[in-house]
Amino acid sequence: MGSSDGVVPPHSHHAIQVTAGMDGMVGMKADGHEGGTWQGVMVAPDVEHQLEMRGTYVALLFIDPESREGRWLRRSLEGPLTEIPAAKLEPYLATLTAIRDEPMEAVETAHAIHAAVRGLCSGPPPSQKLDPRVMRALEVIRSMDTRKISLEEVAGSVFLSPSRFAHIFSDTVGLPFRRYVLWRRLTRALSAVGRGHTLTAAAHSCGFSDSAHLTRSCTQMFGQPPSIMLEPGEFYEIPAPFELGTG
């Protein structure tokens, strides 16, 4: 959460991005098309987009599209950008305001975010399961040292050849394996920076060659350098409220 008058240049990442202006409107463009102005808007995963802060106190929530809630939320997406209806935005903003004004313990924050995101979803929870081999691969990736993840090792863990696994993974996740691993490395590095690690330490611990490599990757995916984590604003690291979809 934070406020700024700046423009976040075009970038793309793998998360579903929920953007909410806590006290005003934000501007958003996606995929090079003419954008608009909203108080609450969702960006589909892997879509290039640009955010105009407009001096508003903005809350950004990034949701793993492979999680159960991520797959559930995707049903509400109508394209690259989807406005959040007022009836759903109001309780969502109320939750974010409560977290901002009266900080909770990490577990309580996770529960609150979990409930708030479910309130943005449409229809019943998804019943269709992801390919179990991809599910297992995602669990393996999450448990591994990000500096040492290889396509061959993960493919072997689900008893597939590297080429077959690469094809199934890309079809299911919508992102090539190496791009997905880069995404996981980046999110871990940003968490490390948010906890007070230096850029160099965070880069080395998450498989980037140096802080410059981390900065380039972060700017490409988030439109901002990782040093943004060190600027005024509020950064919350909570236990993951959304598990990988098993149902």
pLDDT in tens, 187-236: 889 888 878 889 999 999 998 999 999 999 999 999 988 887 666 555 55
Q: E-assigned strands of 80-162? A: 81-83
Angle subtended by helix axes 132-143 and 177-194, to nearest 10: 40
> Is the separation of the CB atoms in 173 and 180 below 8 Å?
yes
Does residue 160 surpass a pLDDT of 70? yes
Task: Name residue, tokens 């479910």.
Answer: 118
Residue 19: other Cβ atoms inside 10 A: 22
DSSP 86-132: HHHHHHHHHHHHHHHHSPPPHHHHHHHHHHHHHTT--SSPP-SPPPH
> Could you tell me the pTM of the whole model?
0.84
Q: How many CA atoms lie less than 13 Å away from 102 in the CB half-sphere?
A: 5
CATH classification code of 132-226 = 1.10.10.60
Mean pLDDT over the full length of the chain: 86
Superfamily assignment of 2-118 in CATH? Regulatory protein AraC (2.60.120.280)
pLDDT, one tens digit per residue, over 100-152 is 888 777 788 888 988 999 999 988 888 767 889 998 999 888 887 767 788 99
Q: Which two tokens stand for residue 81?
A: 């950008």
> 132-226: same fold as 2-118?
no
> Is the separation of the CB atoms in 68 and 126 below 8 Å?
yes
- What residues does each domain of the chain span? 2-118, 132-226
